[in-house]
Amino acid sequence: MARGAFFDLDKTLVPGSSLFLLARGLYERDFYRARDIARLAWGQFVFQLAGRESRAGMEKSRNAALEFVKGRRADELRSLGREIAEERVLPRVYEDIARVIAQHREAGDETWLMTAAPQELAEIVAAGLGMTGARGTISEIDADGRYTGELVGEIAHGPAKAKIAEEIAGTRGIDMRESAAYSDSINDLPLLESVGQPHAVNPDHALRRIARARGWPVHELRTRRRALLIGVPSAVGGAALFGAGVTLGVWAGRRRPRA
């Protein structure tokens, strides 16, 4: 059977929120007003405070994001999204994790981006990194090509993300026991537990505790110190990767220094 490697996006591949980077790019193109950005920011803030424990927090975040695109033409947002992703998101991908993706690909593994971010953004980022594919949160589009403000299926978050990964594995003949997953968040524990080679990347406190207790590799890419990443799957060749860069504020607009 084939092997797979599943990667989270926000704080795993890039510092901060990819959705905020997209929103800022749209704002600077006069596509949205400041109050639209503020509503989206509030929904994301509530999720960061309560989303991990509260269904209401996740609903608040979801509704803010759906309202953000409601009534907009999907083709227009997709075109701008590609431009903004190339300008703001892809340059911020940690070089270390981009190298891990490349090594999985060279070893013959399928590489999948798994994120609660919009499907359109996920596809653009995955294509830019040469990944097999992406699964994000899918928004409904009406017959006129405009977003309705409703979802198609679930938010690709928590247990739903693990379920999507298993569906991909079943469709493409991937052996999850031989596969790897990379994430920063305790929310992705179901995904990490579903594979044979889980990796905690820039982990939050809860995930760091679990990873250490279970002997999972912990990869810290947010500091300037060099950190040998131990436990990279044998298919990747046991390569040593080096941490580089510091977390960026999405509103600062600064590109991270090259390692």
> In angstroms, rounded to a whole number, what is the distance separating the alpha carbons of residues 110 and 215?
25
The pTM score is 0.76
Is residue 34 predicted with pLDDT exceeding 70?
Answer: no
Q: Find, among 183, 16, 34, the residue nearest to 89 by Cα.
A: 16
Higher confidence at residue 87 or residue 97?
A: 97
Q: Is residue 59 part of a domain?
A: no
- Strand pairing category for 147-152 and 133-141: antiparallel
> In angstroms, rounded to a whole number, what is the distance separating the alpha carbons of residues 166 and 174?
9
Domain with residue 140: its CATH number is 3.40.50.1000
Q: Which domain holds residue 193?
A: 4-16+94-236
Question: What number is the average pLDDT over the span 159-179?
Answer: 96
Q: Is residue 116 part of a domain?
A: yes
Contact 245, 221 (CB under 8 A): yes
Q: Is residue 178 part of a domain?
A: yes
Catalytic residue status for 188:
no
Q: Is residue 37 part of a domain?
A: no
Q: Find, among 218, 219, 224, 220, the residue nearest to 246 by Cα.
A: 224
- Annotated catalytic residue within 10, 96, 109, 184: 10
Contact 176, 169 (CB under 8 A): yes
pLDDT at residue 75, rounded to an integer:
86
117-140, pLDDT tens digit by residue?
Answer: 888 889 999 999 999 999 988 888
Catalytic residue status for 10:
yes
228-245, pLDDT tens digit by residue?
Answer: 333 333 233 222 222 222
